[in-house]
Structure 1
């Protein structure tokens, strides 16, 4: 596994001036991911490859436009993630994977590095944009994490759009669940109420179903005021049972941001291992102790995933340098800064 940064930014890891010295030319940076997994060039058709790159570019530009105009890191993160939550290509919002019971249960978290405020939700079934619900928990409640029906009720009370659960249905994710359950000799639930009739929904552009575990989406940002923030949203893992919750809404595991440490992180992968290793928080601790983004990301992902899982992370440091680490053959990702043009990538060997 190697840590990958955008072309032209590697030198900035050690040469970038402190944020405080750049007051006359405010710096901003933005990075996103759409999940990591077994993503090989041979598995994606040219149309599928292009569809992912186009979607990543749309989300990246949505956040960049806000930061470019002096907007907040939190606004940039929410704007980009909501685009990916609405895109059935990703395992978040519409396009989320199914539980073993045939439901879409959605998790999200957001964190403000300036004051360490944070909000998280788990097990949503009717809130269109889980990342908006997580931010509402952070800004408009005395709590940090809400779950299940209560979280949806709170989101509705905040004026956030509610939808029928069938809104989140996609045919390819349903097929993925059927395959998953058959492989394990588990019962296949009835097709969800309100879903299109079998055979009526298009499967294109669909990636191979073996990426089903890693479609989480996330974003990290540094805005012109120097505030770091991170956000992540996911449908979890195909066939999850018993109300399983992964690392995404667990602050310090799948999502973390701290101005003091100079770090913002969003993770994707086998969440149980990220929770056990407190990946996101530890990356920030390593950076605060003097490690570069490259060294911190590589060391922490290696440590966590040596326990038995696979995945990756995106990082933005206090100097506005974005970076990527992964142990998989691919991760849907992109980054842009005030001094570097937008760039998106899919495969692990793309620089």
Structure 2
């Protein structure tokens, strides 16, 4: 929302507090862009850079970021002079907290708007939208999701591509039995594992996907081979497994993919079958990652074991391009999670990017897409999204969604609403 200066009132600037007022807008998230030359005729600033735009992100009465335009080096000084003139605190640029450190409603965690044309390295991962995560698992889940984000970022720091990074991050999650993918996959009605995965390169829209695969430890790696070694986008079942053998991917014994927790999960679900309402799907879990590399390329990867007690051959959204994820260098990259049938019906990933194309922020785009799915189909879920400029968000309507993100070397992770921790990142 763009407000003229006259609607921005400096009420009580104490401890970085400022109030934004407009008709019916008090307390809302407001983006006020102020042009120093045109909007502040009384200012004493005379430097040539005084025409740069300063953006204030005002929410709940706090300034979260002060961003300067991409002008000459004097812009910093101009911004400091402006802060001193209006707010009486010239060191605001150094003291104002970054937007991403502030908990947001409905699980949103957006990065600050970018103020330069330099591309930041960004990795965001999710561990699936879940109905609940038991207290004894939460720290293991948080550590696992942080480990995956760190792995993806290490790949980017070493000069790897966005595709390399999302594959590496998701592989970590597929190898962690705490997550519903790879060796932690839930079981179908016959007690078997059938996994789905997809990956996409935003440079040229190359994509690869597999579904209903068994005896493969890392379906995401197989999906990438489909993308790079075949003229196709999607292989399924026995055909995908034969292709894996042809590519030299070793067969993993089924017992190594089935955990005791998955067995108990299936038993419990069968006992409760019939009591669950059709509009309240449970056990919706997926893992995924999005990344922006040093060349400005975007990618996503999504992997899942599906839903517990599913019919043999059931395929959800995760391997479907546009639903389980999407990547386009001109817009952004998305990976989704939640009730697969609902995600498929609204093409959730592409829907979110459509809103970005229409000028929405990543936070707004994610919320619009998720709320549409919820209102239209009562479907719950979540998504992670990174834009071509490096802005990112993790948002969900399910009870929880483990997530982690690294940008500018800063690692953050969370599970529940307003549960965000800055963690130490091991880059060794």
The TM-score, its normalising length taken from structure 2, stands at 0.70
1:129 aligns with: 218
RMSD: 1.8
In structure 2, what is the Cα distance between the partners aligned to 1:158 and 1:212?
36
In structure 2, what is the Cα distance between the partners aligned to 1:293 and 1:217?
20
Matched, 1:264 2:353: no
In structure 2, what is the Cα distance between the partners aligned to 1:85 and 1:268?
15
Report how far residue 184 of structure 1 moved.
2.4
**Contact in 2 for aligned 1:229/1:257 (Cα 8 Å):** yes
**Contact in 2 for aligned 1:328/1:348 (Cα 8 Å):** no
In structure 2, what is the Cα distance between the partners aligned to 1:4 and 1:215?
19
1:44 aligns with: 135
Between 276-285 and 153-162, the greater mean CA deviation after superposition: 153-162
Matched, 1:163 2:252: yes
1:181 aligns with: 270
Change beyond 3 A, Cα 1:223–1:300 = same
SS at match of 1:225: coil
Change beyond 3 A, Cα 1:334–1:350 = same
Matched, 1:333 2:403: yes
Matched, 1:4 2:108: yes
SS at match of 2:184: coil
2:127 aligns with: 34
CA deviation profile, 1:142-188 (whole Å, cap 9, x unmatched): 110100011011012112232111111101111111111122279xx
Of structures 1 and 2, the one with the larger relative CO (CA 8 A, separation 6+) is 1
The TM-score, its normalising length taken from structure 1, stands at 0.85
In structure 2, what is the Cα distance between the partners aligned to 1:74 and 1:322?
17
1:54 aligns with: 143
Change beyond 3 A, Cα 1:54–1:212 = farther
Report how far residue 70 of structure 1 moved.
1.8
Report how far residue 212 of structure 1 moved.
6.2
Q: Which of 323, 330, 335 is the matching residue for 1:253? A: 323
In structure 1, what is the Cα distance between the partners aligned to 2:389 and 2:107?
18
Report how far residue 211 of structure 1 moved.
10
Matched, 1:279 2:279: no
Matched, 1:305 2:396: no
Choose 1 or 2 for highest CA Rg. Answer: 2
Report how far residue 66 of structure 1 moved.
0.8
In structure 1, what is the Cα distance between the partners aligned to 2:264 and 2:410?
38
CA deviation profile, 1:82-135 (whole Å, cap 9, x unmatched): 111011100000010000011100000000111001000000001111000100
In structure 1, what is the Cα distance between the partners aligned to 2:237 and 2:151?
29
